[in-house]
Structure 1
Amino acid sequence: MASLALMRASPVFSASRPPLMLANPYRKGIPLSDYWVSEKYDGVRGYWNGHRLLTRGGEEIHAPEWFTRGWPSQPLDGELWAGRGRFEFAVSAVRRDKPDDAAWRQISFMLFDLPGSEEVFDRRQLLLIELAAALKQPWMKVVPQHRVADHAALARMLDALEKQGGEGLMLHRGGSLYRAERNDDLLKFKPQDDAEARVVAHLPGKGKYQGMLGALLVETLEGVRFKLGSGLSDALRRNPPEIGSIVTYRYRGRHAGGIPRFATYLRIRGD
């Protein structure tokens, strides 16, 4: 196909930390007529730089040779997903230095963007569909996109998805270019907000947690430090995330100083 040939001629980004578009939280009042809505897949972000499959941190993902065979030199952005409620399985499969073929047979690459394209998202969707159709690989799937009329319809969609075990929704502005930054062209809508922080210290436990971890001292990307103890299992308290590792936490709003309210540990970031 002519357009596919043009895509293969597109430039390839550096193989260090991928230049990814990141999402802001959804806010009521956003003009929804400008956006496409899709499911937020709970897996590992995967970035194909034209030669290698990388995590969002720039680490190489050792996928089986057949998984990426025939992929174009055009960068691809998507989620390595094993199904709803199977985040830990996906992380386990993706992080292996030696790929487990049987595990990778259960992984799909949920394709949602073309970072190297200079087209707007409305057009990039069509190019994604064309690309997947040309490759004919059942594990590569284009993320379905939908329109919603208003906030009430969006809330109903989120509620229905949550009942089915889904994580949340993504909103992508149809007229936007791919910009490797966090902006309102990409939004996430979830029952609870989540964010990431780096572990900077292990705080000792007291009482029934004597001799174990009491809480993690973490630091957000904005430099705000706080204690994260809620949500930690006894197994994690005995073997806590390493200092320097990135963890994901859920919260409900922030205090005036930027400290998240009701922060609860969710997991170590898998990528």
Structure 2
Amino acid sequence: MNRLIASLLLTLSLLSHPAILLASEPPPLMLANVFHADIRLADYLVSEKYDGVRGYWDGERLLMRGGEIVHAPDWFTAGWPNTPLDGELWAGRGRFALAVSTVRQLQPDDATWRGMHFMLFDLPAHPGDFAERDAALVRVVAAIKQPWVRHVAQSTVHDLTELRARLTGIVNLGGEGLVLHRRTSLYRAERSDDLLKFKLYEDAEARVIGHLPGKGKYAGMLGALEVETAQGLRFKLGAGLSDAERHTPPPLGVWVTYRYNGVNEKTGIPRFARYLRVRTDMTP
């Protein structure tokens, strides 16, 4: 139900307020690859992956991943430093829909923002490696002195068994997964193994380029989304859509997240792909 509410709210927002999508250039973010077991775990620090909306404070404004300005209340960002901060705008485990609707408000509502947190995990402009940036970030959060601005705790794991146990524990608590930061990495605005995400399933994003009509019980509704990845791969995405989403599908041009289990070796098409939700922080 939360996913459905988030999807419907976003669809209405995109249709009614398209201008908010072009508010700014996308921030220079460090992006994650998918975890693979051949890495050296001793080289990484591990933290929870918070299921919210990526937030980037550029020293003056709070932005989403696609460059959209977040209209947070003045008190939420009061006293923040003039240096960039990277984190997740998070409403709590299992409350992704609330985070989405709150962050996309054009007129911020204090009541909903009181339940939001800015979970900070990096200092993009700091010249040091991640271990040094993390230590500096602890001091930055302490200086801000706001209970809704929190440092994301980092820790070590000794082997893959321990990492999997940590993942299971987080998921059982309603969390999304884990993130691994390479200790010696500099902050670079690119996707690399310096940052890895580890979840029970693989996921990725694709842009909606078509609405395919349904048949049988889905006659008169959406049968599947035609989507295209950033690499130009096109495929149909029908599983995972609710009846309400088939009546009011994600608009053309938006990015959506889908889950899958590996890819077809010949075609590269994701196996058992299932629609998950609209990606709110990627600009059409």
TM-score normalised to the size of structure 1?
Answer: 0.94
- Kindly state the Cα deviation for residue 135 of structure 1 after the two structures are TM-superposed: 1.1
Q: Match of 1:119, as an amino acid?
A: G
Question: What is the CA-CA distance between 1:161 and the residue it aligns to?
Answer: 1.0
Equivalent residue for 2:76? 67
* Selected match of 1:184 from 193, 199, 210: 193
Asked whether 1:259 is paired with 2:275, we answer no
Instruction: Kindly provide the amino acid, as one letter, of the partner of residue 51 in structure 1.
Output: E
Match of residue 105 from structure 2: 96
Question: How far apart in 1 are the matches of 2:143 and 2:250?
Answer: 42
Identity of aligned residues (%): 63
Question: Structure 1 stretches of 5 or more lacking a match?
Answer: 1-14
- Find the counterpart in structure 1 of residue 8 from structure 2: none
C-alpha distance in structure 2 between counterparts of 1:124 and 1:262, whole Å: 39
2:39 pairs with 1:18:
no
Structure 2: how far apart are the matches of 1:28 and 1:260?
20
Shift of 1:237: 0.3
2:93 to 84, 87, 94: 84
Match of residue 162, structure 1, among 161, 171, 174: 171
Instruction: Provide the rounded CA distance (Å) in 1 between the counterparts of 2:92 and 2:103.
Output: 14
Task: Write out per-residue CA displacement over residues 91-131 of structure 1, whole angstroms, 9 at most, x where no aligned residue.
Answer: 00000100011000000000000111111000101111101
The letter of the residue matching 1:78 is G
Q: Aligned equivalents of 2:45 and 2:137: distance in 1? A: 15
* Aligned residue type for 2:39: I
Could you say which residue in structure 1 is the equivalent of 2:214?
205
Q: Residues 35-74 of structure 1 correspond to what in structure 2 (within 5 A)? A: 35-74=44-83
Q: Deviations over 1:185-222 (max 9, x none)?
A: 00000000010000000000001111100000000111
Q: Which residue of 2 aligns with 1:269?
A: 279
In 2, the alpha carbon distance for the partners of 1:27 and 1:210 equals 41
Distance, in Å, in 1 between the alignment partners of 2:170 and 2:58 is 31
1:133 to 124, 142, 145: 142
The letter of the residue matching 2:169 is A
Deviation at 1:242, TM superposition (A): 0.1
Deviation (angstroms), 1:270? 2.0
2:254 is the alignment partner of 1:245: yes
Q: 2-side partners of 1:251 and 1:63: how far apart?
A: 34
User: How much does 1:160 deviate?
Assistant: 1.1
Q: Secondary structure at the match of 1:198?
A: strand
Distance 1:54 1:255 in 2: 36
The alpha-carbon deviation at position 260 of structure 1 amounts to: 0.4
Q: Does 1:173 align with 2:173?
A: no
What SS does structure 2 have at the residue aligned with 1:123?
helix
Aligned to 1:146: 155
Distance 1:141 1:224 in 2: 38
Give the Cα separation in 2 of the matches to 1:223 and 1:48.
31
- Matched to 2:269, the amino acid is I
The equivalent of 2:226 in structure 1 is 217
The letter for the 2-side match of 1:147 is T
Could you tell me which runs of 5 or more consecutive residues in structure 2 were left unpaired when the two chains were aligned. 1-23
